[in-house]
Amino acid sequence: MKTEWTADQIQSLLERQKAFFRSNVTLDVNWRLTQLKNLKKAVTQFQPKIEAALAADLGRSPTEAYFSDIGSSLVEINEAIHGLKRWAKPETHFSGLMCFPSIITKVYKMPFGNTLIISPYNFPILLSLAALTASLAGGNTAVIKASSKSPACTAVLQELIASVFPSEYVTVVDGGHDTADLLLGARFDKIFYTGSSEVASHVLSLAAGNLTPVALELGGETGNWCVIRADADLKDAARKIAFFKLCNSGQICININQVAVAEEIADVFLSELKMAFEKQIGKAPLQNKEYPHLITPAAFDKCRNKADTYKDRILFGGHGDSTTLRFEPTIIFPVSIEEDIVRHELFSPLLPVVPFPDREIDRVLDTIAAREHGLALYLFTKDIVWAKRVMSSQQYGGGCINEVCLQLMAKNVPFNGTGHSGMGAYHGEWGFREFTHPSTVLIGSNHGNLSLREHPYSGKKNVYKKHLIQWLER
């Protein structure tokens, strides 16, 4: 595995990819479909190696590895294979009377060219291959900068990609922040970054030097809220929330960062949540080999230190094992909506719970709305009319009513954030759109051209031009 890249090496790689793109081979939709089918086959063949790498980097069980990364990647590739010909078909439009007699206009879906994909450690396979699928479907070349925090997965990605594609078409680059900065300083045509809001600002600043368009998929600076009303099905809510916080040990961009629960039912909900955690992961989660661990010692220490700050309010969990990097799912209650722990993304199994009088739900929502926009919002209630009204008025990336996380897996819909949780969208056709730009081409006519647009505009013979233009453009 290569660990050090120089600016000259990166520029050489980019020049080779530019030359490959200029050969126009990627413009052929059937050729793109072949590449996507080859990628799908490789993912299937590499399944055992991917499972082993996810276990090494994150402590994932084979089932969670397949559900979260491998199977989800295959779903993304399949959707592109099935939809690409329809997505890529040029659109035909009526040009309008002002353009007569040139009445036909085409819109071509053109690739950007050479794309840079910067993927994170928490879902190192899925969040690399999903963006890659969209890029290849769009007819681009790609360089994937994989995370240095998940070295086993980066190594497998490098092997997988090299087994399918020549480096002038797709390649995986390892290394740390210095390598990422060298890549960001190069002249790519599109950048797709998944990670934190803090780093995203840095990505945008470097991309601005080349006026490179950027898509950002971020976790949200102040975290994703889950609101539980007094009328909610508490057993169902607890079961789903427990599953979500256990998945990848909370290291998920759309995970629930904090819960706001109606104080009238808070005790019952907390009791149900404790039972749900124990039922799913056992009473000794630190010894459960199916329970994922935090990515690095630094991430573990950050989680433990935050838990220690609130140790007097820990109702469940609160312990970790620095040798395995596992930290128990941890309920912290009660927490004020103004406290520091609910103002920042935690990216861990810590779960602060904020009680509120159910009648004051509007105040809670106003507070959430006043902070940076989250990537997700989750509501549990039997009042679906109210829930739909909230979902259609708040600012956030996506979310669920009486469910968690599945907005990420729904087909034919976009995945995206807004504000500090991101810009741009992908998955399915939305990913194809993100990695292409529409080019409008009017097809001119040699016959029947009107002289309305041409000088002269004055004089008795030409006074009709303005009146006719006003009529046509009314």
Q: Which residues are catalytic?
A: 217, 253
CA dist list (Å): 214 to 108, 194, 211, 404, 434: 21, 11, 9, 28, 9
Query: What is the DSSP annotation of 388-419?
Result: HHHHTTS-EEEEEES--SGGGT-TTS-EE--G
Query: Quick one: which of 127, 130, 27 has its CA closest to 78?
Result: 130
Tell me how far the alpha carbon of residue 275 is from its chain's centroid: 31
Q: Which two tokens mark 464?
A: 């009709």
Work out the angle between the directed axes of helices 29-45 and 151-164 (0-180°, nearest 10).
130
- Residue 136's CB is within 10 A of a number of other CB atoms, namely 29
Are residues 286 and 249 in contact, defined by beta-carbon separation less than 8 angstroms?
no
- Would you tell me the crossing angle of helices 71-88 and 29-45 to the nearest 10 degrees? 170
Sign of the alpha-carbon torsion through 421, 76, 43, 27: negative
Count CA atoms within 13 Å of residue 97 on its CB side.
7
| φ, ψ (nearest 5 deg) of residue 168 | -75, -10
Q: How far apart are CA 242 and CA 184, in angstroms?
A: 38
Rounded to an integer, what distance in angstroms lies between the CA atom of residue 203 and that of residue 471?
A: 49
* Alpha-carbon span 219 to 240, nearest angstrom: 20
Beta-ladder partners of 437: 110
Given a contact cutoff of 8 angstroms between Cβ atoms, the answer to whether 319 and 341 are in contact is: no
Do 351 and 331 meet the contact criterion of CB atoms below 8 Å apart? yes
d(CA 370, CA 110) in angstroms, rounded, equals: 39
Inter-CA distances, 120 with 21, 103, 149, Å: 26, 47, 8
CA distances, 301 to each of 55, 298, 305, 398 (Å): 20, 5, 6, 30
Q: How far apart are CA 88 and CA 429, in angstroms?
A: 9
The overall longest dimension of the chain from CA atoms, in Å, is 93
3-class secondary structure, 452: coil
SS3 466: helix
Cα 466 to the center of its chain, rounded Å: 50
Query: CA-to-CA distance for 444 and 462, rounded, in angstroms?
Result: 24
